[in-house]
Structure 1
Amino acid sequence: MLDSLAFSPVGWLMIVLGIALAYVVFGIAGFGTALVAAPVLLHFMPLSTIIPLLVLLDFIAASGSWLPARKAVARGELRWLLPGMAVGCTLGVAFLLSLKSDLLLLAMGVFVTAYAVYSLAVRARPRTLVQAWAIPTGMIGGLFGALFGSGGFLYALYLNARLDSTAQARATQSALITCSTLVRLTLFLIAGVYADLSMLVLAACLVPAMAVGLWIGRHLTLNMSREAFVRLVTWLVLASGIALLLRYLMT
């Protein structure tokens, strides 16, 4: 199993840089690791390996972000989002391990890109969402998170439309992603995905790159206003949608 770690020096460099850049984005926005890292990692391993690998790293990253800021978590929002997210994660893991998901990938890319373009172009839009949107947001975010490792953008959009405090939105999102990754970790473990020792060794090798990326991302947003932060998240959502469409075209 460890033979799968026999990447060339250039391959290792690309993988490490891809992970570091992915976690710079995660440190800024709290999502996006798979959308950034997957186009690089797909040259070296299949998507069914990439997603469980990133789930391991995301769990470490999100836990480290959530625990120091746990008092700022909006627990009421979590209670609404978590049930749908658990259902979506379960369905997504089942699809990832058994079905081709090209059409869902295309639909997700179109939706994300269209929404981001609309959000950037139309300034006069509702300031808040009603809490009932938590149910579809949780389910679709969980589904996309399990399938593509990229459901966090939906949580970010929902929480930034519900909460006035950037710190509260980020802490709640980190707690939500920690719960999401824990659910996916458990499902992948039950499915026997982590029986491959090489994946665990590779994840351990990539933790330093993840930590450096997180540190850079967090320091880039220390003095950012809520408006600038929300707009930056929207631009990252747009980049995520374009990356999904490119991934679909390359498959």
Structure 2
Amino acid sequence: MDAIANALPVTLLQFAIVCTGVVAAYVIFGIAGFGTALIAGPVLANFIPVASVVPLLALLDFFAAVTNVSRDARSADVAELRRLVPVMAVGSLLGAALLLLGRPQLMLLALGIFAVAYALYSLSGIKPVSQLSPRAALPFGFVGGIFSAMFGSGGFIYAIYLSGRITAKERIRVTQSTLIGLSTLTRAILFLLAGVYAQASMLWLAVLLFPAMLVGTAVGRRITLRLSREQFLRVVGVAVLCSGAFLIYRYAVG
């Protein structure tokens, strides 16, 4: 235990605080299928280098998504995945290229404003005239891929599309988790090739946070099973609103 404690980039007290934040973050993930960066990101950033936060969450998000999908794989909407995944992959490649050229802050602001505006509309109770067209997968998948690669914050874009296409909340959640799993796997592979995971302290922290992630995801799934579709969509709307506000905050602080 002493060897592990020495290898960690945080003290035991800080680790307890981080665990609490991770459990809370993955309760949200278990419900909505995204949103861990909103809660766990700021908590982790207080104790580990900001450059390590996204790679660490990529690992945890991937295994959380695998956990969700392995339990309810049959609920995933395969037709929507076929529409979204190819354009998401193209968007991710473009996002990675833009990331290498620099992080355009105006795009971060635009995404935050869009998220807040959509969430307010969603929470207003105004009913859409019709569901989204299947062709909407092209812009939503593409833009979601770009911002997932650039900022690790594209999950809510997929949630907007899926909630406008699928009626069953369980199918939305599992399909969302599948998309997040594929997106984070791509990012994790890029981080691995770049040598980011060569840091033993980060890997130890990921391993020790794994139980906290499992607990949070399990609690979130239990909550989801008790929610009606309307309650589920309200939770997603609040998560989208908070995600957008957080992106605007990130833009404001530079």
TM-score, normalised relative to structure 2: 0.90
2:35–2:156 contact (8 Å) kept in structure 1: yes
Q: Give yes or no for the alignment of 1:56 onto 2:64.
A: no
1:23 is matched with which residue?
26
RMSD, matched Cα:
2.0
Aligned-partner residue type, residue 219 of structure 1:
R
1:214 is matched with which residue?
217
Distance change >3 Å, CA 207–CA 17, structure 1 → 2: same
Structure 1 alignment gaps of length 5 or more: none
Distance change >3 Å, CA 117–CA 4, structure 1 → 2: farther
In structure 2, which of residues 200, 203, 206 is the aligned counterpart of residue 197 of structure 1?
Answer: 200
Aligned-partner residue type, residue 23 of structure 1:
Y
2:132 is matched with which residue?
129
1:35–1:149 contact (8 Å) kept in structure 2: no
Aligned-partner residue type, residue 164 of structure 1:
T
Q: Give yes or no for the alignment of 1:159 onto 2:162.
A: yes
Residue 178 of structure 1 and its aligned partner are, at CA, apart by 1.5
In structure 1, which of residues 11, 21, 29 is the aligned counterpart of residue 14 of structure 2?
Answer: 11
In structure 2, which of residues 28, 37, 41 is the aligned counterpart of residue 38 of structure 1?
Answer: 41
Structure 2 alignment gaps of length 5 or more: none
Aligned residues: 250
Q: Give yes or no for the alignment of 1:82 onto 2:85.
A: yes
1:103 is matched with which residue?
106
TM-score, normalised relative to structure 1: 0.91
For 1:196 and 1:95, locate their aligned partners in 2 and report how far apart those are by CA, in whole Å.
Answer: 25
Aligned-partner residue type, residue 132 of structure 1:
R
In structure 2, which of residues 225, 235, 240 is the aligned counterpart of residue 237 of structure 1?
Answer: 240
Aligned-partner residue type, residue 89 of structure 2:
A
Residue 113 of structure 1 and its aligned partner are, at CA, apart by 0.7
Distance change >3 Å, CA 52–CA 91, structure 1 → 2: farther
Shifted more, 133-142 versus 4-13: the winner is 4-13
2:103–2:150 contact (8 Å) kept in structure 1: no
Distance change >3 Å, CA 54–CA 98, structure 1 → 2: farther
For 2:44 and 2:196, locate their aligned partners in 1 and report how far apart those are by CA, in whole Å.
Answer: 18
Distance change >3 Å, CA 88–CA 192, structure 1 → 2: farther
Residue 123 of structure 1 and its aligned partner are, at CA, apart by 0.8
- 2:231 aligns to what SS in structure 1? helix
- 1:221 aligns to what SS in structure 2? helix
- 2:164 aligns to what SS in structure 1? helix
Query: What whole-Å deviation, never above 9, does each CA across 1:27-85 have from its counterpart, x for those lacking one?
Result: 11110001211112222234432111111001100001112212222111111101111
2:144 is matched with which residue?
141
